[in-house]
Amino acid sequence: MVSTPPGGYFGQALVVDATTGTAQTLPLPDDILRGYIGGAGLGVWLLHRLGTPGADPLGPGSPLAFVFSPLVGTPLTTSAKFAVVAKSPLTGLLTDALASSQFAIAGKLTGHDAIVVRGRAASPSVLLIDGDGTRLIDARQLAGLPAADADKRLRAELGRGWRVAAIGPGGENGVRYATISHDGRHAGRGGLGAVMGAKNLKAIAVRAAGKVSVADPGAVLAAARDLRQRSFGPATAKYRELGTLANLLAFNAISTLPTRNFQVATFEGAERLGAAPEPGMPAGVEGMRRVARSSCASCTIGCEHIYRVGSGKKARVEYENVFALGPMCGVSDPEAVLAASARCDDLGIDTISAGGTIAWAMECAQRGLIDAPWLRFGDSAAVARALDEIGAGSTALGSLLGEGSRRASAAVGGGSAAFAPHVKGLEMPGYEPRTLHSMALGLAVNARGADHNRSGAYEADLSGDLDRLDGGDAHVAAAIETEDRAAIMDSLILCKFLRGVFTDPFGEWAALLASVTGWDVTADELRATARRIVLAKRVYNIREGWQPSDDWLPDRLLNEPLTPPSGRVATLTAQRLRAMIDAYYKKRGLDREGRPGPGIVYDLCLD
């Protein structure tokens, strides 16, 4: 007798062989669903279960998992999200990227809690999944197209109801930080687009084939109304009114805006790039002006801001892409930064890794380590040229930079690894660790690498409750708490921009999950689940070759102090970082080398 899955679940994953286009279902027992929930949590369990230890991330045997959650398809705001999980070709470790779109809803309603792809198609193909099963169609006519164009053409060909996730030229050409795109959104970090390209898949198209029930529809609807109302409150005001670009001027003011490859932490051209308040701009501010606002699927926050610069060009703008292609590369021309961001979208490559790798190459050229005299800080044409060469892999330099800063620095040598801006191979986001010590720890120990979304420890640094220039035990506790909260939000899945509306996060999340699934889940259980997910990621990385030295920061950040405008010298010594990491290991129940014991591994349900 087949048991009925909990509310919000189908109780199975679809495992597709891209070589043949055929598929099998993998049962997902209730204890696994309850232990890992969905999204990033269930994704890491699937990689443990289906991935071959030590496999090449770009090999046919490495799984690429699209993982949904029990909240997808409910009226809960921001719940139309999914996780893409794989072994990263950039880091060689776990990567999980989250994104919002109608693809999440249609993908889940194919009747599966996850879609996992293995194998490699014989020729460029599109994988179709709906109520009729799985099949491959030819994609040669889509070769070289931006993901958005491939999406548009496919949906016109396939008809109503289909939703598409596609790669651009970067994924086809094996750029190790290529993205997967859908509805104008991106599963951006870690090279998931390269994994999909290595499977010879230009796109995956899904069409809903059924419905999924929840345990208590009335409670879910009441929670959705309450959450919707709270999503219009002060906790999300910044995202609604200016978007994340508002961070740029604020970070510049407190010397936490990485500039010219982390050589300094303030940018003299920041005002030209900062978000200008409406209806007019203050005197002297030349920033990009917002002209429209939009939302992701099933979202009431509306954080998507469309900006326009002098030429009339419009594009969606976020803090991270402006930081990476602007201050990080020394570029202050708003139109050029906007164009570079749009070019990354067309090529299907991650803006943070692209900007960080180009900034590293600019410093190499400055030092005479790379023969590219045209590659100079502040030169917007150089950024544009470098992006084109990376996306096409058409030159030796483009192929080198498409490998990411860690691999490129190993190839170039000359001491360039000391200023390569990455952790575990993943390029650094726009937060200066020397002036944000909780964040420094969060970046160093995170499973994905230098990641601001899996560790929001910068919130503690910026709260005013901690001395952000002097890390200690309070910073360790803050890093662990934000990492645990992220693990649950990324598994439920709910948008991080909603985090501020919860006054009792674990208790409120437990109530949401209980109303959907029917489980008697509690706040304490969810805290234990968060720890399980965080540790399962670490166990996966250890299996794939992680070493204790990987939990560290670039040498530059530990050996070159900063002097913020306040005059207080900002340093992050190796001794201080080591002390925080050791305290983190102890609080996580790890040994001195950061490895969990046998009892912990057994508790993770991985055996």
- Give 423-460 pLDDT, tens digit per residue: 999 999 999 999 999 999 999 999 999 998 888 888 88
**Alpha carbons 208 and 225: distance in angstroms, whole number:** 25
The pLDDT score that the predictor gives to residue 152 is 96
What are the structural domains, with CATH classification, of the chain?
Answer: 12-207 (3.60.9.10), 233-427 (1.10.569.10), 433-603 (1.10.599.10)
Q: pLDDT grade, residue 348 (50/70/90)?
A: very high
Q: Specify the pLDDT at position 291.
A: 63
Region 167-192: mean pLDDT is 94
Higher-pLDDT residue of 443 and 311 is 443
Q: With 70 as the cut, is the pLDDT of residue 112 above it?
A: yes
Structure confidence at residue 279 as a pLDDT band (50, 70, 90): very low
Residue 31, classed as helix, strand or coil, is helix
Ranges 225-239, 268-282, 408-422, 460-474: which has the least confidence: 268-282
Residue 501's pLDDT is what?
80
Mean pLDDT of 459-470: 88
Tokens of 268: 């003299």
Q: What was the pLDDT predicted at 285?
A: 38
Residues 156-179: tens digit of each pLDDT: 999 999 999 999 999 999 999 999
pTM: 0.95
Using the predicted structure, report yes or no on whether residue 555 has a pLDDT greater than 50.
yes
pLDDT surpasses 70 at 300 = no
For 174, the token pair is: 């094996």
Reply yes or no on whether the pLDDT at 283 is more than 50. no
The three-state secondary structure class of 492 is helix
Q: Answer whether residue 234 shows pLDDT above 80.
A: no
Please tell me the distance from the alpha carbon of residue 10 to that of residue 578, in angstroms, as a whole number. Answer: 45
Residue 602 one-letter amino acid: Y
**Which DSSP state fits 551?**
S
Phi, psi of 9 (to 5 degrees): -125, 155
Answer whether residue 298 shows pLDDT above 70: no
Per residue in 313-329, pLDDT (tens digit) is 667 788 999 999 999 99
Query: Within 13 A of 459's CA, how many CA atoms are on the CB side?
Result: 19
pLDDT in the model for residue 452 = 87
Kindly tell me if the per-residue pLDDT of 281 is higher than 50.
no
pLDDT surpasses 90 at 526: yes
- Residue 236 binned pLDDT confidence (cut-offs 50, 70, 90): low
Output the CA–CA distances (angstroms, integers) from residue 476 to 64, 473, 489, 576, 582, in the order listed.
33, 5, 20, 12, 10
Mean pLDDT, the chain, rounded, equals 91
